[in-house]
C-alpha cells in the first residue's frame, strides 16, 4: 500500500504544489493548514510521514512537532525559511527526523521523503513495546526510559540515539551514520557533535561513563550497543 503523507503548510499555493509533487510519486496525501488542524488530522488518519512547516497559525511547527513526538513515532520533515544552525538543532532536538530549508526543489524534497521512509522499516522491523537490558527498560511506544524503576529524563535526540542502538544491538555505527539517522541529512554541524550526545546519554544510563556497559566505543569506527535485550 502506498504511504500516506500529511502536508502541514499554511500557504495554500505551496501546499498544493507539494501535494501534486507527492501524488505524482504515488503517495497518498492529506493536508492541514494550521497547527491545531495538523494535530487533529494526524491523530485521525495516522500518516506514515508528516511534512511540517515551522511557521503556522494557532500552533507553530515546533509545538506541533513536540506534541506529535510525544504521541507517536511518525517521521517528521520540517520546512522552514530559517536556516541558522540553532533553528535546525531546535527542530531536531524536538524530534524532527529531517529539515528542509525554503526555497527548496521538489526533487530534493522527494529525495528526503524517500530517505526518511526508507529508514522507518529498518527501525520498526520488530514492533517492540519494551526492551529490557538489566535494570534499564526502554518503552518504545511511550518514549520512556527507566533505570532501576526510576524514569530517566532524555532529550528527544538522546532517545532517538538510544532507540537506534537498542533496536540494533551489536551493530557498529559510524559517526556519519548516526548523524544521518538521528540528526538528519540536513544537519550541517560536525560529526563529532554525536560524541556530545553519546556522552550525555552515557551520563544518564551508565553506572560508570569511563567503563560503559551499554554504549561502547568502537575505535576507528564509532559506537555500538553491547547488551542484548529481554524483549517484551
146 and 204: one domain?
Answer: yes
Tally of domains in the chain: 2
The pLDDT-based confidence of 86 (bands split at 50, 70, 90) is: low
193: domain range? Answer: 130-231
179 and 87: one domain?
Answer: no
Whether the CB-CB separation of 136 and 119 falls below 8 Å is answered with: no
Q: What is the mean pLDDT of the chain?
A: 84
177 and 214: one domain?
Answer: yes
Say which CATH number the domain at 167 has: 1.10.10.10
227 pLDDT higher than 80? no
114 and 33: one domain?
Answer: yes
125 pLDDT higher than 80? no
Pairing of strands 215-218, 173-174: unpaired
Q: Determine the 3-state secondary structure of 23 from DSSP.
A: helix
**What was the pLDDT predicted at 43?**
87
201 and 225: one domain?
Answer: yes
134 and 119: one domain?
Answer: no
**What was the pLDDT predicted at 126?**
46
88 and 158: one domain?
Answer: no
Q: Which of 123, 158, 186 is the last residue of a domain?
A: 123
Q: Which residue has the higher pLDDT, 51 or 74?
A: 51
15 and 89: one domain?
Answer: yes
List, for residues 10-56, the tens digit of each pLDDT value.
Answer: 999 999 999 999 999 999 999 999 999 999 999 888 899 999 998 89
Q: What predicted TM-score, i.e. pTM, was given to this entire model? A: 0.56
203 pLDDT higher than 80? yes
32 and 113: one domain?
Answer: yes
153 pLDDT higher than 70? yes
148 and 184: one domain?
Answer: yes
Amino acid at each position: 500500500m502506498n504511504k500516506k503523507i500529511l502536508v502541514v503548510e499554511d500557504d495554500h499555493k505551496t501546499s498544493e504544489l507539494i501535494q501534486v509533487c507527492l501524488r505524482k510519486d504515488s503517495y497518498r496525501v492529506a493536508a492541514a493548514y494550521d497547527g491545531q488542524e495538523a494535530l487533529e488530522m494526524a491523530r485521525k488518519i495516522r500518516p506514515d510521514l508528516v511534512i511540517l512547516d515551522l511557521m503556522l497559525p494557532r500552533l507553530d511547527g515546533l509545538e506541533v512537532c513536540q506534541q506529535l513526538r510525544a504521541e507517536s513515532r511518525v517521521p517528521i520533515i520540517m520546512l522552514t525559511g530559517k536556516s541558522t544552525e540553532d533553528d535546525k538543532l531546535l527542530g531536531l532536538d524536538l524530534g524532527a527526523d529531517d529539515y528542509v530549508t525554503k526555497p527548496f526543489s521538489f526533487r530534493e524534497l522527494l529525495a528526503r521523503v524517500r530517505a526518511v521512509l526508507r529508514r522507518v522499516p529498518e527501525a520498526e522491523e520488530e514492533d517492540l513495546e519494551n526492551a529490557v537490558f538489566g535494570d534499564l527498560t526502554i518503552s518504545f511506544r511511550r518514549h520512556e526510559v527507566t533505570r532501576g524503576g526510576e524514569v530517566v529524563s532524555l532529550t528527544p535526540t538522546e532517545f532517538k540515539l538510544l532507540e537506534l542502538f537498542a533496536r540494533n544491538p551489536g551493530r557498529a555505527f559510524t559517526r556519519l551514520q548516526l548523524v544521518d539517522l538521528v540528526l538528519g541529512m540536513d544537519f550541517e554541524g560536525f560529526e563529532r557533535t554525536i560524541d556530545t550526545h553519546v556522552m550525555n546519554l552515557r551520563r544518564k544510563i551508565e553506572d560508570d561513563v569511563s567503563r560503559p556497559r551499554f554504549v561502547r566505543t568502537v575505535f576507528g569506527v564509532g559506537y555500538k550497543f553491547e547488551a542484548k535485550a529481554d524483549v517484551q
